[in-house]
């Protein structure tokens, strides 16, 4: 169980880092649909 939490957190951190890198390259925000999918994936992993 602890390993699953660690892996889930690691995936989330990688996704957040990727989003920050995209913003740094000039991409601003996302669509509501993209945000909904992103949040659904996070909840599914929990």
What pLDDT sits at residue 33? 83
Alpha-carbon span 17 to 22, nearest angstrom: 9
Rounded to two decimals, the pTM is 0.54
Average pLDDT score over residue span 8-12: 91
* pLDDT score of 14: 92
Tens of pLDDT, residue by residue over 23-37, are 788 877 777 788 899
Q: Where are the domains of the chain?
A: 2-45
> Taking 80 as the threshold, does the pLDDT of residue 1 lie above it?
no
| Residue 8, C-beta contacts closer than 8 angstroms, at least 6 positions apart | 45, 46
- Predicted confidence band of residue 11 (pLDDT cuts 50, 70, 90): very high
């Amino acid at each position: 169980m602890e390993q699953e939490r660690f892996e889930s957190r690691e995936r989330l951190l990688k996704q957040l880092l990727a989003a920050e890198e995209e913003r740094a390259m000039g991409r601003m925000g996302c669509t509501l649909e993209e945000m909904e999918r992103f949040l659904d994936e996070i909840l599914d992993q929990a």
